[in-house]
Amino acid sequence: MKAFDVLFSKREWVAFFILAALILVVLPSLLDVFRLNLIGKYLTYAFVALGLVLCWGMGGILSLGQGIFFGLGGYCMAMFLKLEASTPEATAIQSTPGIPDFMDWNQITQLPFWWQPFHSLAFTLVAIIAVPMIFAFIIGAAMFKRRVGGVYFAIITQAIAAILTILIIGQQGYTGGVNGITDLRTLLGWDIRTDDAKVVLYFVNAFLLLACLILAQGVRISKFGRLLVAMRDREDRVRFSGYSVANFKIFIFCLSAGLAAIGGAMFTLQVGFMSPSFVGIVPSIEMVIFCAVGGRLSLFGAIYGALIVNYAKTTFSESFPELWLFAMGGLFIGVVMAFPNGLAGLFHDHVEPALGRTFGRFRSSRSDDTPATEPAQ
């Protein structure tokens, strides 16, 4: 029991069980399969938001390229599913049976060697985590070892997201181009397009998200988490104390990439395709907005932020498709200027004190869910 008390405070356990009840009981009970699948899609973005809380909120590393890792995880899963759907029998009408249809359309007659390992599910599961983390390690080592940070790092990650998008679209014969990898049908013979499969995948996604939330909380309360906050506020002091700031930054950047990749893989499974439209600059910025609206200092807030913003995006874009992007931009500006700690900050500043006055058992002081905002000493 002591370990549980160390992981979360009592108030945080309440928040955890409320979140778990919401996504595991309330939403599945109230929504039909179509809407539940949409919520599952929103929850895949919550993985990215969790990583951004660690990377940006605690470590002070603003990445505008998280779509890269979300997309890499999604593409790894899509490659396995596409190969399973491209058996010689299923592709007998093609000029070259046994390869994905978009390769045949682009007159490629042999499966590329780097596609071959994705016949194995075990390799794919490893690749979903390893490929984005290795790519993040390369970016992080190249940047942080040279003390590139702040706005320069944000711009560079954004540029890499744009480059990767152009590369994916340009290599249409190997990646599916602008359409991406589509027509994904089965996972080890299990049809993922049925309603029952969508429900099962939703719950798998939800349990994975809760597990990642616990993992992120473990990082947050650890000594490493406290060093991240100190590094965010007084990087020079941490460096002068003998710690390797660059290695810390590389580690947390890789961890956030791994979390984003899990979300990308679950997105592919639930939505049934992956395309470069989830990799580039716009989706990467949207992912930052999910985190900022929910609260970049709060793990719970980031998850709610991903749910709320995506629900609003779906709702408003149906009625006002031409105005939604302006609304998204205005929302981000409003969050930065009016409530920089997002919805979680509003809750801690206004709702929690009101609850404390009403029920007399909630403390009106600021939550310990929020890492220290004062400079580290």
pLDDT, greater one: 337 or 285: 285
On the question of pLDDT at 3 being above 70, the answer is no
pLDDT band at residue 7 under the 50/70/90 scheme: confident
Tens digits of per-residue pLDDT, 163-173? 999 999 999 99
Rounded mean pLDDT, 347-373: 64
Instruction: Please tell me the predicted confidence (pLDDT) of residue 1.
Output: 57
Rounded mean pLDDT, 66-95: 92
Tens digits of per-residue pLDDT, 50-66? 999 999 999 999 999 99
On the question of pLDDT at 369 being above 60, the answer is no
Instruction: Please tell me the predicted confidence (pLDDT) of residue 189.
Output: 87
On the question of pLDDT at 95 being above 90, the answer is no
Quick check: 274 and 268 in contact, CB under 8 A?
Answer: yes
On the question of pLDDT at 361 being above 90, the answer is no
* Domains of the chain in sequence order: 3-360 (1.10.3470)
* CA angle, 295 then 298 then 299, to 5°: 115
Instruction: Please tell me the predicted confidence (pLDDT) of residue 343.
Output: 85
Cα separation, 169 vs 226, whole angstroms: 41
Instruction: Give me the chain's average pLDDT, please.
Output: 88
Instruction: Please tell me the predicted confidence (pLDDT) of residue 373.
Output: 46
> Helix or strand or coil: residue 377?
coil
Instruction: Please tell me the predicted confidence (pLDDT) of residue 374.
Output: 44
Instruction: Please tell me the predicted confidence (pLDDT) of residue 363.
Output: 53
Question: CA–CA distance from 7 to each of 48, 117, 220 (Å)?
Answer: 21, 38, 9
Question: CA–CA distance from 43 to each of 119, 163, 186, 213, 246 (Å)?
Answer: 28, 27, 22, 12, 31
Tens digits of per-residue pLDDT, 263-318? 999 999 999 889 999 888 889 998 998 898 888 899 999 999 999 999 888 888 77
Quick check: 364 and 357 in contact, CB under 8 A?
Answer: yes
Q: What percent of the chain stands above pLDDT 90?
A: 57
On the question of pLDDT at 4 being above 70, the answer is no
On the question of pLDDT at 114 being above 50, the answer is yes
pLDDT band at residue 81 under the 50/70/90 scheme: very high
Instruction: Please tell me the predicted confidence (pLDDT) of residue 360.
Output: 66
On the question of pLDDT at 186 being above 80, the answer is yes
